Structure 1
Amino acid sequence: MPFQRFVETGRIAVVSDGPYKGKLVSIVDVIDQTRVLVDGPTTSVPRGQIRLNQLHLTKFRIKFPYAASSRVVRKSWVAANLDEKWKQSVWAKKVAAKEKRAALTDLDRFKLRRARTTRNKIRTATYLCLKKAASRDGTLYGKKKMAKGGDKPKTAKKAKKEVVKKVAKK
């Protein structure tokens, strides 16, 4: 089945536009083809109508009777522990990361760039060292062959430790 998120009573959605952008709401009733009645009991979104093109449907759904009051919606929202489930979701984590990135100062962005550069140098040096060790072992292309050269091949762990020491000294 291609679609799994339907516009239905109890479906949780994220408001994508308007004054309540980014808040969670529950669909209480379908008004017509383009509008629904929503309620956000714990997200301070009052009961009201909203266009479907202003909503992003989530995978979460709560059970309550048709056209239930705000009190009933709140009770089932809390019983389903929806706020915690939302915080655990990948979608919410991405939104939080985006907000955090937008709040960075110039100094924070500079520190982040320096940290990434250092991490990438360590990663590249480790990769090259492991590749060299695999080439010496003859395991670079899958099959074990005779080792090249006369020196004793290093294990991957030893090679990695040496690379990290070299980069740390710089």
Structure 2
Amino acid sequence: MTAEPTILVGVWNRNRVENATFEGGWMIGRLDDAGLDLGIWESNFKRFVEVGRVVLLRSGPNSGSIAVITQIIDHNRAMIEGPTTGVPRQSFPFKHITLTPLRVTIPRAIGSGALKKVLEKEGTAAKWESSAWATKRAAIEKRRTVNDFASFKVMLAKKQRTDVVRKAVAKAKKA
């Protein structure tokens, strides 16, 4: 009668599993009866630099726009383009972009027209605009551009709302 394989949680080290306890699981390894590691991985990282990854630009004239990685140049830079958002094809450093969870399936070095068709077909811009991340960015930007009088009106509306809630709670406590 053979025993069930032992499951260890640890880190990958020279093709073997070291016993360790880490929350979040760096790597799950199974040892068979002979003690050989079968190497089943569980990664903590979900967003990778890859062709087709939708990115958010953090600097430059198109800051705040989304684009797609069309080609990886080296470990510091990638070619990006956003034909639906007005971002021209250009080399861009990784330190000035943020990877988003969105991804489109495209071949490396795809042309502008074909990329635009793929983005429109998959509705990437609409997916981005409906995401919580984009919604929060839009709200922050709107708050940032509000003038003094508009912020005063917002403050008055908040006071009125608080007063209505306070009166409703007091009425509910009495009853």
TM-score (norm 1): 0.73
Distance 1:74 1:106 in 2: 40
Q: Provide runs of 4+ in structure 1 moved above 3 Å.
A: none
Which stretches in structure 2 are left out of the alignment for 5+ residues? 1-42
The residue that corresponds to 2:162 in the other structure is 120
Distance 1:103 1:47 in 2: 29
2:59 to 4, 17, 36: 17
Q: Which has the higher contact order (CA 8 A, sep 6+)?
A: 1
Which residue identity lines up with residue 40 of structure 1 in the other structure? G
User: What pairs up with 1:146-161 in 2 under 5 angstroms?
Assistant: 154=175
The residue that corresponds to 2:109 in the other structure is 67
- Determine if the alignment matches structure 1 residue 5 to structure 2 residue 53: no
Which residue identity lines up with residue 61 of structure 1 in the other structure? R
2:83 to 41, 47, 51: 41
Which residue identity lines up with residue 2 of structure 1 in the other structure? N
Which residue identity lines up with residue 119 of structure 2 in the other structure? W
Larger-gyration structure (1/2): 1
CA contact (8 A) 1:38 1:48 kept: yes
Distance 2:170 2:94 in 1: 52
Which residue identity lines up with residue 54 of structure 1 in the other structure? H
The residue that corresponds to 1:100 in the other structure is 142
Distance 2:86 2:147 in 1: 30
Structure with bigger helix share is: 1
CA contact (8 A) 1:27 1:38 kept: yes
Aligned-pair distance for 1:40?
A: 0.9
SS in 2 for 1:28: strand
Aligned-pair distance for 1:31?
A: 1.0
The residue that corresponds to 2:99 in the other structure is 57
How many residues align structurally?
133
Aligned-pair distance for 1:54?
A: 0.6
Distance 1:2 1:127 in 2: 45
Which residue identity lines up with residue 117 of structure 2 in the other structure? K
Q: Deviations over 1:90-109 (max 9, x none)?
A: 11111211222122222211
Aligned-pair distance for 1:126?
A: 2.6
Percent identity between the two aligned chains? 34
What do you get for the CA RMSD once the two structures are aligned?
A: 1.4
Q: Deviations over 1:48-79 (max 9, x none)?
A: 11000110111111111122111221111111
Distance 1:44 1:33 in 2: 25
Structure with bigger strand share is: 2
CA contact (8 A) 1:64 1:72 kept: no
Aligned-pair distance for 1:129?
A: 3.7
Distance 1:127 1:34 in 2: 57
Aligned-pair distance for 1:42?
A: 1.2
Aligned-pair distance for 1:43?
A: 1.3
SS in 1 for 2:92: strand
